[in-house]
């Protein structure tokens, strides 16, 4: 398993001369738990870089308090070390916040964005509630809410028919370092504020996908993100919840692959 000088665990697959696509996972997850099925669907045509966020999976804990800027710089440092000039950034949930931050801070390093099941403007009152909840419930670590989380992430049918996948995801989330998880959870809660009506504007080709029944990142948020990025496309996948990407990776990979073929 390759690890960067800064302690970021990563994989790099696909044709060496193909355009690079970087895959960014979400809170409490890993590159494998999120993108294991999707990466082979892309790696036939693209050079796919996947990695674990700071303190997640096999990556080292961060040296400073996590923020969107810190997580943005983690990817840029990895790209620098691997001599990757530009990449299309595919980000799920928190990853879809990180890739927007990278596009704002390092626009010349980004060729396109795919924003998957990612949050956006909540309104002042709801934003405060989400931040307060992140502070109040973080002390118990990921285990304090894992059952409710899995119900929110996966459809009932999938929970009944694929207990193996649920067990794997549960184990990945439960393995998180408690303090690191809490700090990243607060980034997920509070970081959207700096992405609303982005300045500088995001001008990269952008595809936004979410699921019809994603309660935390509902379709209205994806449409709002799209309205703030000129020319962005928005796809809403019916029936699925937050982890639709894991339930039906093909429904994500098809549009993502088609989009990347057009713009890269």
How far apart CA 102 and CA 93 sit, in angstroms, is 15
Domains of the chain: 10-263 (3.40.50.1820)
pLDDT (0 to 100) of residue 142: 82
Mean pLDDT, the chain, whole residue set? 96
> pTM above the 0.95 mark?
yes
Flag whether pLDDT at 156 surpasses 80: yes
pLDDT digits (tens, 9 = 90+) for 25-38: 999 999 999 999 99
Chain-centroid distance of CA 81 in Å reads: 21
| DSSP characters over the chain | --B-TTS-BEEEES-TTSPEEEEE--TT--HHHHHTTHHHHHHTTSEEEEEPPTTSTTSPPPSS---HHHHHHHHHHHHHHTT---EEEEEETHHHHHHHHHHHH-GGGEEEEEEES------HHHHHHHHHHHHHHGGG-GGGGHHHHHHHHS-HHHHHH-HHHHHHHHHHHHTS-HHHHHHHHHHHHHGGGGGSS-SSPP-S-EEEEEETT-SSS-HHHHHHHHHTSTT-EEEEESS--TTHHHH-HHHHHHHHHHHHHHH-
Residue 35, both tokens: 């993108």
- Tell me how far apart the alpha carbons of residues 212 and 235 are, in angstroms, rounded to a whole number: 10
**pLDDT of 145:** 82
Local confidence band at 153 (pLDDT 50, 70, 90 cut-offs)? very high
């Amino acid at each position: 398993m390759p690890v960067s000088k800064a302690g970021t665990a990563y994989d790099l697959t696909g044709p060496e001369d193909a355009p690079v696509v970087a895959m960014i996972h979400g809170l409490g997850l890993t590159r494998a738990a999120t993108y294991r099925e999707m990466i082979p669907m892309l790696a036939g045509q693209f050079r796919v870089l996947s990695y674990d966020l700071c303190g997640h999976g096999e990556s080292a804990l961060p040296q400073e308090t996590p923020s969107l800027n810190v997580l943005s710089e983690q990817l840029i440092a990895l790209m620098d070390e691997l001599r990757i000039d530009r990449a299309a950034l595919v980000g799920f949930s928190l990853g879809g916040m990180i890739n927007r931050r990278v596009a704002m801070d390092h626009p010349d390093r980004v060729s396109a964005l795919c924003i998957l099941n990612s949050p956006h403007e909540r309104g002042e009152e709801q934003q405060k509630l989400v931040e307060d909840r992140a502070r109040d419930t973080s002390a118990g670590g990921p285990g304090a809410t894992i059952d409710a989380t899995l119900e929110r992430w996966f459809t009932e049918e999938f929970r009944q028919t694929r207990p193996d996948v649920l067990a794997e995801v549960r184990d990945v989330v439960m393995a998180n370092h408690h303090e690191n998880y809490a700090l990243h959870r607060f980034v997920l809660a509070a970081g959207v504020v700096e992405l609303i009506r982005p300045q500088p504007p995001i001008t990269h080709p952008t595809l936004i996908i979410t699921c019809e029944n994603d309660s935390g990142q509902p379709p209205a948020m994806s449409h709002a993100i799209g309205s703030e990025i000129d020319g962005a496309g928005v796809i809403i996948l019916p029936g699925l919840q937050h982890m639709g990407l894991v339930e039906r990776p093909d429904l994500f990979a098809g549009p993502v692959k088609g989009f990347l073929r057009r713009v890269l």
